[in-house]
Amino acid sequence: MAWSVAQALAMDQSTHAACRVCLGGARPFMTVQGRRYWRCRRCRATELDAAQLPDPETELQHYLTHRNDPADAGYRRFLSRLATPLLEVLDPASEGLDFGCGPGPALAAMLEAAGHRVRLHDLFFRPDPAALGRCYDFVTLTEVAEHLHRPHAVFRQLAGLLRPGGRLAVMTALGIDDRRFADWRYRRDPTHVVFYRVATFRYLARSLGLDCRRVAPDVVLLRKPGSGGKSSTPPVVAASNTRFCASTTETARARA
Ligand SMILES: [Zn+2]
């Protein structure tokens, strides 16, 4: 049975929280079966209350129920919603990172079949912290963003791994009519804790100095300005303790 929106919205409007996507101010949005959600006033993200985030063991047990078989044609079709527009803009033999690749790195296999190199990192299934100390032409997050407990820090870190002209390709459900939020299948996944809109990514991109383009109903491509140029040098730690990757030319200039 659908929840009454009026009932769900009947919350204490006097409290505030920090948005975990943009660090702006969030207000209570809705409570569904005891799960409290907040809505950011700035980037429009909707987030589960911080006190209700699942612990790592709960997350792992849930992820183990996912079927991510690289040989599954249906799963590959699903991933092609991100892979196809990304492949259209990548230079030949690009280097990328599949962040949160899961147990069956099907997307990496698809991109490698097109001639690119893909490094894997997944906190639960393929932990490779060193992968976060390199620069890439592209970074992919497929069905990962909605699981992030600290999205602001993660997006900032990943944007810092992009070479000039590099792409951050994100696939996640992009918003739903608020009247359908309570019954939304995507919301009911206990490990989905943050829900984005296109406006959320546009704000995030601006704050990170990236361009943002929606290329499919649930896919955005964020692009770092500048033109390519491969660099194998690790990211430079800037004064603000953030990292940035330079092109070969820029690296040479910085050393001069
Ligand atoms: Zn926000």
Note the pLDDT tens digit of each residue in 146-200. Answer: 999 999 999 999 999 999 999 999 999 998 899 999 999 999 999 999 999 999 9
Query: How far is the C-alpha of 13 from the C-alpha of 37, rounded, in Å?
Result: 12
Alpha carbon distance 166, 223 (integer Å):
6
Distance in Å, CA 212 to ligand 1 centroid: 16
The alpha carbon of 17 and the centre of ligand 1 are apart by a number of angstroms equal to 10
Per-residue confidence (pLDDT) for residue 244, from 0 to 100: 54
Sign of the alpha-carbon dihedral angle for 117, 118, 119, 125:
negative
Q: Look at residue 16 in the predicted model and tell me its pLDDT.
A: 83
- Ligand 1 centroid from CA 152, angstroms: 9
Residues with CB under 5 A from ligand 1 (ion): 19, 21-22, 24, 40, 42-43, 45
Query: How far does residue 151's CA lie from ligand 1's centre (Å)?
Result: 10
Instruction: Quote the tokens at residue 107.
Output: 């997307």
Q: What is the pLDDT of residue 71?
A: 75
- Contact of 121 with 99, CB cutoff 8 Å: yes
At 39, the amino acid letter reads R
Per-residue model confidence (pLDDT) at position 161: 98
Flag whether the pTM goes above 0.95. no
Cα 46 to ligand 1 centroid, rounded to whole Å: 8
Is 200 in a helix, a strand, or coil? helix
CA angle, 35 then 39 then 44, to 5°: 140
Q: What is d(CA 139, CA 222) in angstroms, rounded to the nearest whole number?
A: 10
**Distance between CA atoms of residues 86 and 109, nearest Å:** 14
pLDDT of 69:
72
> Which residues, given as ranges, of the chain have pLDDT below 70?
1-14, 67-68, 228-244, 246-256
What's the CA-to-centroid distance between 113 and ligand 1, angstroms? 37
- Cα 65 to ligand 1 centroid, rounded to whole Å: 30
19 CA to middle of ligand 1, Å? 5
Looking at residue 64, what is its pLDDT?
82
Cβ neighbours for 109, distance < 8 A, ≥ 6 positions apart: 70
In terms of phi and psi (left: phi > 0; alpha: psi -120 to 50; beta: otherwise), the region of 55 is beta
- Of 121, 145, 125, 122, which Cα lies nearest the Cα of 193? 145
Output the CA 140–ligand 1 centroid distance in Å: 21
Cβ contact 207:132 at 8 Å: no
- The CA distance from 41 to 43, in Å, is 6
Domains annotated for the chain, with CATH where assigned, are 54-255 (3.40.50.150)
Q: Which positions ≥6 away from 242 have C-beta within 8 Å?
A: 156, 157, 160
- Give the torsion sign (CA, 207, 174, 88, 136): positive
Q: How far is residue 71 CA from its own chain's centroid?
A: 24
How far apart are the CA of 197 and the centre of ligand 1, in A? 11
User: CB neighbours (10 Å) of residue 128?
Assistant: 14
Cα-to-centroid distance, 112 and ligand 1 (Å):
35
Alpha-carbon gap, residue 30 to 244, rounded angstroms = 38
pLDDT value of residue 63: 83
E strand spans, 84-242: 95-99, 117-121, 136-142, 162-171, 194-195, 211-216, 219-223, 236-237
pLDDT at position 240 is: 39
Q: How far is the CA of 233 from the centre of ligand 1 (A)?
A: 33
Output the CA 133–ligand 1 centroid distance in Å. 27
Burial class (CB in 10 A: 0-12, 13-18, 19+), 151: buried
- Residue 246 CA to ligand 1 center (angstroms) comes to 28
In the chain, the amino acid numbered 69 is D
Q: How far is the CA of 210 from the CAs of 67, 72, 151, 205, 207, in angstroms?
A: 33, 34, 16, 5, 8
Residue 228: per-residue pLDDT: 61
Distance 169 CA to ligand 1 centre (A): 20
